[in-house]
Amino acid sequence: MAFDGAGSGGFPPAHRVRDEELGATAPERSAAPGPNGRPVVPGLTLRLVTAAVAIPIVVACVVAGGVWFSGLILALAAVVAGEIWLLQQRAGHRASPVAALAAALAFPLSAAAGAPQLGWLLLALGIFVTAIPLGASPARHGTLTGWGVSVALGLYVGALLAPGIALRQRPDGLEWLLLVLAATWACDTVAFLVGWRWGRHQLAPTVSPAKSVEGAVAGLVAAVVVAAGASMLLPLPLLRLIGLGSVVGAGAVVGDLIESAVKRQLGAKDSGWIMPGHGGLLDRLDSLLVTGFLGYLYVTATDAVGAP
């Protein structure tokens, strides 16, 4: 059953980035007035409904841990691998969905199994198997490039998702992982709202003109405040929590910009359509990919140096 206006396979037509979208700034987007004459956040209701459905599922899997959380991570990696393939297809690449899937699943599978070296074996096997058609079929322009991009983007997603599983497997992993999630979500939400309403100075004009310095700073502050506030609920030292909030806040901005750069290179505005009001799953995981990885590094590094 195809969606209204969908192309072949039931997928919406490619959303290519128009010149005016690439050049849009936060102030320009916030100019649309609502019934009371004040600006209205675009698509706010749909965003909230989607978040109200998705967040409880994620939190429940995090709390349950074990196979539930590992299964969630593997499912996310698989869906994002599909979005990578679609992004490449829309950009005219000769993409390899199997290569993207193999690269995205290798390290999450090894983390779930508690066998870190297994990830390298699975990755090597996936690269080898998906490379066979390159030598077994007639040379076609762009085939090698498409395959390489599929592997690289799949590996980016999988390698950054896997530390989340390792973090949850720690004895104190539930608390740390929930903190990373809460700080990331606070950063993203506050950065979006402040940037939409008060953003005036572009953060990275050539990568994502809509993102503002004001939004990034506000998001960083929000991440630190949320993390520091956890000291009232958890037996964790305040300075260590402030450090986590700072790392998460900075990482969220970097992750957002990396995904924006990838989409710009592929000429797309959204990575997909699976998250109504938000775009694709990769659009929602862009920050979490980096913050989960950096959060794990921060916790293990501060443990190693004997931080309280």
Residues 163 and 273 in one domain: no
Q: Which of 92, 88, 94 is nearest to 154 (CA)?
A: 88
Residues 194 and 141 in one domain: no
Residues 308 and 177 in one domain: yes
Burial degree of 308 (CB within 10 A; 0-12, 13-18, 19+): exposed
How many structural domains is the chain composed of? 2
Residues 231 and 212 in one domain: yes
The pLDDT of residue 124 is 95
Of 128, 154, 169, the one marking the end of a domain is 169
The pLDDT of residue 67 is 97
Say if 5 falls within a structural domain.
no
Residues 210 and 92 in one domain: no
Residues 200 and 277 in one domain: yes
Say if 88 falls within a structural domain.
yes
Residues 177 and 164 in one domain: no
Residues 141 and 211 in one domain: no
> 11: how many CB neighbours lie within 10 A of its CB?
15
80 and 157 Cβ atoms separated by less than 8 Å: yes
Say if 140 falls within a structural domain.
yes
How far CA 236 is from CA of 27, 49, 60, in Å, comes to 40, 33, 23
The pair of three-digit structure tokens given for residue 58, joined into one six-digit string: 């994620």
Phi (first) and psi of residue 278, to 5 degrees: -115, -30
The pLDDT of residue 212 is 93
Of 120, 146, 169, the one marking the end of a domain is 169
pLDDT, tens digit, 9 for 90 and up, residues 153-183 = 999 999 999 999 999 999 999 999 999 999 9
The pair of three-digit structure tokens given for residue 84, joined into one six-digit string: 């990578």
Say if 151 falls within a structural domain.
yes
Give the ranges where the chain is alpha helix by DSSP (H).
19-22, 26-29, 44-64, 66-90, 97-113, 116-136, 143-168, 173-198, 213-229, 238-265, 281-304
The pLDDT of residue 139 is 62
Q: Check the CA dihedral 86-89-91-94 and report its sign.
A: positive
Instruction: For residue 278, give the DSSP letter.
Output: T
Positions in the chain short of pLDDT 70: 1-42, 136-142, 276-278, 308
Domain that holds residue 307: 173-308
Phi (first) and psi of residue 263, to 5 degrees: -65, -35
Q: Which of 87, 90, 208 is nearest to 154 (CA)?
A: 87
> How far apart are the C-alpha atoms of 227 and 186, rounded to whole Å?
10
The pair of three-digit structure tokens given for residue 224, joined into one six-digit string: 């630190």
Residues 287 and 207 in one domain: yes
pLDDT, tens digit, 9 for 90 and up, residues 12-34 = 333 444 433 444 444 444 445 54
Residue 262, classed as helix, strand or coil, is helix
Instruction: For residue 266, give the DSSP letter.
Output: T
Residue with tokens 């929602």: 284
| Beta-carbon contacts of residue 22 (< 8 Å; ≥ 6 apart) | 209, 264
> How far apart are the C-alpha atoms of 112 and 163, rounded to whole Å?
10
For residue 81, give the amino acid letter.
Answer: A
Say if 34 falls within a structural domain.
no
Residues 275 and 188 in one domain: yes
Residues 53 and 181 in one domain: no
Of 102, 135, 169, the one marking the end of a domain is 169
Burial degree of 233 (CB within 10 A; 0-12, 13-18, 19+): exposed
Residues 101 and 190 in one domain: no
Say if 16 falls within a structural domain.
no
Say if 276 falls within a structural domain.
yes
Say if 129 falls within a structural domain.
yes
13 and 5 Cβ atoms separated by less than 8 Å: yes
> How far apart are the C-alpha atoms of 264 and 270, rounded to whole Å?
10
The pLDDT of residue 172 is 94
> How far apart are the C-alpha atoms of 122 and 285, rounded to whole Å?
23
Write down the pTM of the prediction.
0.83
